[in-house]
Amino acid sequence: MSFRIRVFLLVAVVGLGATGLTVALTWWQARDQVGEAASASRETTETIHAELRAQALRNGTWEGVDQTLKRLRAQTGQRMRLVDPYGNVVADTDHMDGRAARPPGPVAVIVDPLPTLVLPVGGDERMATLTAIGAYREETVWSACLFRAGYTPLGVVGADGVPRHGLSGVDPGTLDACRPGPFAEATRATDRLEVGQCAEAGCLREAFRRRVTDSDVAPATLLLTIGAANEPVRALDPGPVLLITVVVAALAVGGALLISRRVLRPIGTLTTAARRLADGDRAGRVPDDGRDEIGELARAFNQMTDSVRAAEEDQRRLIADVAHELRTPLANLRGYLEAIQDGVIEPTPAVFASLHDEVILNQRIVDDLQELALAEAGALVYHREPTDLAELMETARTAHRPAADAAGVRLTVESDGPVFADADADRIRQIVGNLVGNALRATASGGSVTLRAHARGDRAVLQVTDTGVGIAPEHLPLVFDRLWRADPARGRGTGGSGLGLAIVRQIVHDHGGEVTARSAEGAGATFEVSLPLTGDRVSGAAPGR
């Protein structure tokens, strides 16, 4: 199982366990409180609010609200207190129950007895607002007076949202006594001024509320509080809390120890091995039998160690090979020079020509090593352009024809027509020259070397095939290694420097291609170079010509 999944499952178990225990504790401790608070639900609060607001709209005054609170107290079992905006207590059920008033509880709602103004559609909204203000004042005065006289007015909401009170069954004398007189002109002027400043429905509704609220007869907006702050509350038992805390802490510590054992110890092992590697110990390895991310990290570290060790071995082998390659020609040069100095050998032109050949061979080895180092470092400069590889193979045949004729080897070119690749023509000629040179050295007189260029899918393919001695199967994986020759007994004059194929591989790789070799001992060899074709597969002429 993946390490990430194991960590996730571990944390999930800890989290779910802690959450489950916390939920259980909460349910256990809050069970009674939830049951007690159910009576103060939103529906109960809305019922109390609706009845008190209906009474204020109907009676036009908060007088007589005590009887309503008593009835609601008996119905809901709630403690209620009405307080005006100035903090004055209008009514409190604690007083009605004959007990000292307790501080207000947590549930508080606003009981606003003012109606919501409904404006006419398509009519004069300002005039409708002024009419509604006057009507509300009159209806409020009338309703309050009738309530004090012992009547219970029946309120009906008009089209403008202002309640109208039924007057049937009321004594005529009481009606005359309760009939409101005209309101002061200053009040009406202020009404007209505020309403006249409004152009939108929202502004008119706000003006209506301000004017009827400022009226001496408008009922006050009251704060309704339900419950009491000092009502008995069951205290939480600390025992279960401590128990669950200990359990969660134990789970957390156990998970941390498991993570520390599974993660930190392998990381510590990797750190120690990395320090040994930095100190020169290339043989150190770490256990990599895990199947999770830590195991992958250990395997990557071991692969890195193997790569470092292999690179150092390649470096030592290269230095040894270079020393071996240069030791013999330098010893020859020294021997000839000392013999000439001692008078043992005459300094004839033939001797100097031989010494010159040795110097040229040494220079070629040094130049090849330098070019290979630049190629492997990515420092070779390439000038790429669409290049006809078939034409390039013909050029290579022309350049190597004198050497082939001298060796008695037939050199031919085969192609299906122009094959274009985006390449550096000089570098491609260089790799073809290296391959053709090797093929001519491996082919006896009477044999043949064939150069081919053709397209295969989206690749341009170059092949150099000879009928020479071939390469043994065990040697094929080594042909592109530096300073390697199939026959160690062959000298540089017949076997080359041993760097040509390594240079070929690097140049082909820089072009985004591949080079392979196939052979059977005694049956010749074929070296194949595969390069990407250009975007436009043009026949006949290079693109842009």
For 524-535, the pLDDT digits (tens) are 899 999 999 886
Among 209, 228, 247, the domain-final residue is 228
pLDDT interval class at 223 (50, 70, 90): low
Same domain (yes/no): 263, 353: no
List own/partner pairs for 216-219 with CB under 8 A and 24 or more apart: 217/60, 217/137, 217/140, 217/141, 217/144, 218/114, 218/136, 218/137, 218/140, 219/56, 219/60, 219/61, 219/62, 219/113, 219/140
In a domain, 30, yes or no: yes
Same domain (yes/no): 323, 451: no
Across the range 419-431, mean pLDDT stands at 89
* pLDDT above 80 (res 160): yes
CA distance 442 to 2: 55
Say if residues 140 and 60 touch (Cβ distance below 8 Å).
yes
- Most confidently modeled range among 131-135, 210-214, 288-292, 494-498: 131-135
φ, ψ (nearest 5 deg) of residue 288? -130, 35
Give the angle 436-439-444 at the CA atoms, nearest 5°.
135
Q: What is the dihedral of CA 348, 349, 351, 354, to 10 degrees?
A: 180
CA distance 221 to 212: 12
- Most confidently modeled range among 269-283, 348-362, 369-383, 510-524: 510-524
Structure confidence at residue 481 (pLDDT)? 77
In a domain, 540, yes or no: no
The residue ranking higher by pLDDT, 205 or 312, is: 205
Same domain (yes/no): 202, 88: yes
In a domain, 278, yes or no: no
What does the pLDDT look like over 238-254, one tens digit per residue? 677 667 767 777 777 77
Structure confidence at residue 542 (pLDDT)? 40
Same domain (yes/no): 455, 515: yes
The residue ranking higher by pLDDT, 463 or 497, is: 463
In a domain, 498, yes or no: yes
Please report the DSSP string for 76-138 in residue order: H---EEEE-TTS-EEEEHHHHTTSPPPPEEEEEEEE--PPPP-PPSSS-HHHHHHHHHHHHHH
Structure confidence at residue 199 (pLDDT)? 87
Give the angle 441-447-450 at the CA atoms, nearest 5°.
80
In a domain, 537, yes or no: no
CA distance 467 to 471: 11
One-letter amino acid of 450? T
CA distance 443 to 440: 5
Tokens of 61: 């005054």
* pLDDT above 70 (res 379): no
What does the pLDDT look like over 74-92, one tens digit per residue? 888 788 888 877 778 888 8
* pLDDT above 60 (res 114): yes
φ, ψ (nearest 5 deg) of residue 283? -95, -5
Computed over every residue of the chain, the mean pLDDT equals: 78
* pLDDT above 70 (res 523): yes
In a domain, 541, yes or no: no
CATH classification of the domain holding 457 = 3.30.565.10
Same domain (yes/no): 319, 197: no
Say if residues 500 and 507 touch (Cβ distance below 8 Å).
no
* pLDDT above 50 (res 283): yes
Same domain (yes/no): 71, 213: yes
In a domain, 22, yes or no: yes
Structure confidence at residue 4 (pLDDT)? 57
Spatial neighbors of 97 by CB under 8 A, at least 6 apart, are 73
Structure confidence at residue 540 (pLDDT)? 40
Give Cα 138 to chain centroid, integer Å: 69
Q: Please provide the size of the chain in residues.
A: 545
Same domain (yes/no): 21, 148: no
What does the pLDDT look like over 26-42, one tens digit per residue? 767 666 565 555 555 67
How many domains, the chain?
A: 4
pLDDT interval class at 224 (50, 70, 90): low
* pLDDT above 80 (res 201): yes
Structure confidence at residue 362 (pLDDT)? 74
What is the 3 state secondary structure string of 499-531?
CHHHHHHHHHHHCCCEEEEEECCCCCEEEEEEE
Domain span including residue 57: 40-228
In a domain, 435, yes or no: yes
Spatial neighbors of 229 by CB under 8 A, at least 6 apart, are 102, 103, 104, 105, 106
- Most confidently modeled range among 79-88, 294-303, 334-343, 504-513: 504-513
Structure confidence at residue 221 (pLDDT)? 56
Same domain (yes/no): 138, 209: yes
Same domain (yes/no): 360, 399: no
Same domain (yes/no): 351, 332: yes
Tokens of 361: 């061979």
Q: If DSSP codes are grouped into helix, strand and coil, which group holds residue 364?
A: helix
Same domain (yes/no): 173, 219: yes
Structure confidence at residue 370 (pLDDT)? 73
Mean pLDDT lowest among 37-41, 185-189, 514-518: 37-41
Tokens of 181: 């007189």
* pLDDT above 50 (res 470): yes
Give Cα 64 to chain centroid, integer Å: 67
CATH classification of the domain holding 333 = 1.10.287.130
User: pTM score, two decimals?
Assistant: 0.42
Task: Output the CA torsion sign for 385, 389, 390, 394.
Answer: positive
H-helix or E-strand containing 433? helix 425-442
Per-residue DSSP letter, 54: H
Same domain (yes/no): 96, 151: yes
* Furthest-apart CA atoms within the chain: distance in Å: 164
Counting runs of H as helices and runs of E as strands, what totals does the chain give? 16, 13
Say if residues 189 and 29 touch (Cβ distance below 8 Å).
no
How far is CA 10 from each of CA 1, 27, 176, rounded to the nearest angstrom?
13, 26, 84
Give Cα 250 to chain centroid, integer Å: 34
The residue ranking higher by pLDDT, 221 or 451, is: 451
Across the range 361-382, mean pLDDT stands at 71
